[in-house]
Structure 1
């Protein structure tokens, strides 16, 4: 079954860029595109009906304007729109249940490189099992997208099952005819912090980690022989290494596990670092 691509739009420049990115992805996948906007009505006190009617008209205009632009860019694309009621994060997560991909816009941090992932974006990522891509606004009026040059970069944890993450990364690289770079960040055992170590030990550990990474990718290389694959096992923080490796890429793919705490959901240190500091579109895929 060919699942559609869902894009959340809210009228912001970031969501318009995300909509263009999602439209090109849907066209390339030959699947329908669905634009959705969530209207959050307070339960109490009741909102006056004229205000509600005005907000409904605004939501319809946001969807209509986005749809009109995308139909001009992709006249053959099967495109529909939906206005949802409820908390945006919950509504988007529910809407993504039958989608193959969820696309959201994310605001850049002013002069810094990276994303500002607000509570809606983080809550949506934590609530959905559907792969989600966060797209930054860009000077290019068409935004960053599948047509750009570059490669797909995927973060790999050699100590965790990562079939869903690798499947998504290899499929994207194959679909867009891009090279794939698999990156794993590793650090010396804690005991090395209290004693001197032989550089040969570091090289030996690095070689062992590289071999484990290559072994993990072997079945996927065989399944996708058309994809050119390189690997990097880099000593240092996994999040920092992945952010640096993704510079200039078309897409960076990262896995996530949701951890609950009194302060809310946490997607994991690596996913958090990449979401907040990568300048390229970030695909977040739930681990197996």
Structure 2
């Protein structure tokens, strides 16, 4: 099937913000935008409108994507907007929709009074099961910076694990930077030896040696990618401390944060990973989760 930038749309402010971001992404990628609206036969909206029958609820659900599609076509001329309505469980339908998405985009609610996401059960389930990239977009804040007309695009931020670098993850981040005409900031976190646990003062010379080695490892991983994408301005940040904290901090100046999720096909089930989980809930920029082997 042809690739599309796909967004899950339920009419909420979060999903509408995601749809606007997805339209900008579709324009950059020169792909159609598909709005996927999931209608559950189960009486999910009854708590809000207990007197509505199933036919009335479905008519209300049908109205959402039609209205959104019209607004998106007007706001983003030239983007081919498609609408698909599916009956089923949202997490299952959207995970299936991700197979043909490049990427799948979902909305997340910002935390009141502070930066971050409230990632609902549907969003987490899709991120954990999808085998294509999924982008989480907040309703609050500036989610622009993906349009090629922006004079000074904010950097794309990539979280890099030098012990297990993955081509799919790194390639996605470089391509995102190229699409935006943006720089790529690569963030790597490493831990100092546990001096405090043993009551010892920090060994500054040893820390410097470890830091130099970690920075060299980052450069070595990125060397072939710099050659493959010579037009991308790459900034390497190898920092002591928790990678999640550094990525959340970097998200304040980013157009997109790119993190990975290892695909695990085992009886133990799926696993998002602690760094990705923390970034999903606390980053202030859109977050792309790229699954990889």
Q: Against the structure 1 CA distance between its residues 238 and 260, is the aligned structure 2 distance closer, same or farther, given a 3 Å change threshold? A: farther
C-alpha spacing 1:222/1:262, structure 2 compared with 1 (3 Å): closer
C-alpha deviations, 1:2-21, integer Å up to 9, x for none?
62110001101111111011
Superposition pairs for residues 126-275 of structure 1, below 5 Å?
A: 126-138=128-140, 143-147=143-147, 149-190=153-194, 193-194=197-198, 195-257=200-262, 265-275=270-280
Q: Which residue does the alignment assign to 1:114?
A: 116
Q: Following TM superposition, by how much is the alpha carbon of 1:258 offset from its aligned partner in structure 2, in angstroms?
A: 5.7
- The answer to whether the 8 Å contact 2:244/2:276 transfers is yes
TM-superposed deviation, 1:264: 7.8
Post-superposition offset of 1:94: 0.6
Q: Which of 53, 56, 74 matches 1:54?
A: 56
State the secondary structure of the residue aligned to 1:276. Answer: helix
What secondary structure does 1:157 align onto?
Answer: coil
How far apart are residue 257 of structure 1 and its match?
2.6
Provide the aligned length of Structure 1 versus Structure 2. Answer: 281
| TM-score (norm: length of structure 2) | 0.89
Cα shift at 1:116: 0.3
- Deviation, 1:145, is 4.4
SS of equivalent residue, structure 2 residue 162: coil
* Alignment-derived partner of residue 71 in structure 2: 69
Contact map agreement 1:33 1:80 (CA 8 A) in 2? yes
Range with bigger deviation, 64-73 or 144-153: 144-153
Please list every run of 5 or more consecutive structure 2 residues that lacks an aligned counterpart in the other structure: 44-51
Higher deviation after alignment, 53-62 or 18-27: 53-62
* Secondary structure of the corresponding residue to residue 57 of structure 2: helix
Shift of 1:54: 1.4
After superposition, the C-alpha distances for 1:93-141 in whole angstroms (9 at most, x for unaligned) are: 111111221001100011111000010000011110111111111356x
Contact 1:242/1:274 (<8 A) preserved: yes
Pick which of 191-200 and 62-71 moved more: 191-200
- Partners of 2:281 and 2:54 lie apart in 1 by 34
Alignment correspondent of 1:47? none
TM-score (norm: length of structure 1): 0.91
In the alignment, what sits opposite 1:29? 29
C-alpha displacement of 1:248: 1.5
Closer/same/farther in 2, CA of residues 263 and 40 from structure 1, 3 Å limit: farther
Alignment partner of 2:27: what SS? Answer: helix
